């Protein structure tokens, strides 16, 4: 038994190192000068730590603007996708006759985004909204709605219909029943849906690269621009990446109780 426990602890330690080492190396590289990042053999810690990479990531015109754009697009698209996903998920949960539409909607999420990229680009160009926050928000809502509907439907299925019927007997309208009774019950599921939708929009690269140019570009689009013909500025890239990790970590910390509760209930 002791040997088995020792093996488990060793396996967990290896896994933790495997997961945390990329984060450590990102922070380590972000505190170095460019020649220290490219040193051979590699430097396991910065000999002369510097914050100028973070200053560049936060206050340079292009990098700083990309973070603001990412916040606007991620927050806006997540709010709309989760709202619409909750309404559609509730409908599909309570009215089973449209099962085929539900599965058709879900299959759209299985296609790689590159399939839709050119049609979306041409459509937005015709509408005159290329390189705008609106274009990315619409694209990300379209990508996140199938996921939100699928998740929310599963959570609504776990709420007994008798709970809603009792609320309606007390005089609540269907919408008030959904808002005041059902949604608070599935709050962990809503939190998980918000977190997954937000992180997808925050980290998405392909559509942001195709649909933006000089105005609404997000932070993933800025990262490749630090690769030039004669130099790769890994120190700047890792500083921007380290800052970009913070919102996702904050989202998970804010919703951690709901997410843990969701897994316990399921």
Residue 21 lies in a domain: no
Query: Domain range holding 115?
Result: 52-265
Cα 140 from Cα 196, distance rounded (Å):
12
Residue 78 lies in a domain: yes
Neighbouring-strand partners of residue 232: 227
Query: In this predicted structure, what is the pLDDT of residue 204?
Result: 93
CATH code assigned at 111 = 1.10.3720.10
Asked whether 192 and 151 are in contact (CB, 8 A), the reply is yes
User: Whole-model pTM above 0.85?
Assistant: yes
Torsion sign over Cα 226, 227, 229, 235: positive
Per residue in 155-187, pLDDT tens? Answer: 898 888 888 888 888 888 888 888 888 988 888
Per residue in 105-153, pLDDT tens? Answer: 777 778 888 888 899 999 999 999 999 999 999 999 999 999 899 889 9
Lowest mean pLDDT among 5-14, 31-40, 171-180: 171-180
Exposure string (b/e) for 108-121, b if CB count within 10 Å is 16 or more?
eeeeeeeebbeebb
Query: In this predicted structure, what is the pLDDT of residue 27?
Result: 93
Residue 180 lies in a domain: yes
Residue 197 lies in a domain: yes
Contacts of 43 (CB under 8 A, 6+ apart): 32, 36
Q: What domain count does the chain have? A: 1
Lowest mean pLDDT among 173-182, 192-201, 213-222, 238-247: 173-182
| Greater model confidence, 143 or 1 | 143
| Greater model confidence, 55 or 105 | 55
Cα 153 from Cα 158, distance rounded (Å):
9
Residue 201 lies in a domain: yes
At which residue do the structure tokens 């490749």 appear?
224
Query: In this predicted structure, what is the pLDDT of residue 1?
Result: 59
pLDDT band at 254 (very low <50, low <70, confident <90, very high): confident
Residue 31 lies in a domain: no
Is pLDDT at 211 greater than 70 in this prediction?
yes
Residue 113 lies in a domain: yes
Q: How far is CA 215 from the centre of its chain?
A: 21
Residue 226 lies in a domain: yes
Residue 43 is classified by DSSP as: P
């Amino acid at each position: 038994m002791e040997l088995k426990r020792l093996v488990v602890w060793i396996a967990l330690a290896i896994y933790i190192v495997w997961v945390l080492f990329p984060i450590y190396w990102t922070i380590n590289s972000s505190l170095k000068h460019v020649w220290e990042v490219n040193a051979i053999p590699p430097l396991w810690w910065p000999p002369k730590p510097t914050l100028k990479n973070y200053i560049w990531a936060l206050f340079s015109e292009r990098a700083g603007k990309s973070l603001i754009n990412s916040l606007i697009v991620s927050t806006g698209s997540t709010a709309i996708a989760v709202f619409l996903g909750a309404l559609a998920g509730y409908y599909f949960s309570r009215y089973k006759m449209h099962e085929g539409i539900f599965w058709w909607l879900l299959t759209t999420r299985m296609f790689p985004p590159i399939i839709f990229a050119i049609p979306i680009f041409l459509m937005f160009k015709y509408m005159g909204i290329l390189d705008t926050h609106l274009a990315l928000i619409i694209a990300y809502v379209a990508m996140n709605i199938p996921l939100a509907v699928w998740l929310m439907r599963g959570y609504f299925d776990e709420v007994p219909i008798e709970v809603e019927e009792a609320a309606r007997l007390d005089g609540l309208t269907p919408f008030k029943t959904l808002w005041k009774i059902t949604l608070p019950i599935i709050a962990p599921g809503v939190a998980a849906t918000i977190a997954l939708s937000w992180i997808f929009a925050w980290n998405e690269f392909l559509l942001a690269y195709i649909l933006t140019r000089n105005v609404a570009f997000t932070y993933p689009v800025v990262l490749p621009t630090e690769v030039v013909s004669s130099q790769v500025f890994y120190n700047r890239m890792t500083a921007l990446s380290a800052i970009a990790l913070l919102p996702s970590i904050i989202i998970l910390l804010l919703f951690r109780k709901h997410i843990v509760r969701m897994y316990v209930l399921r």
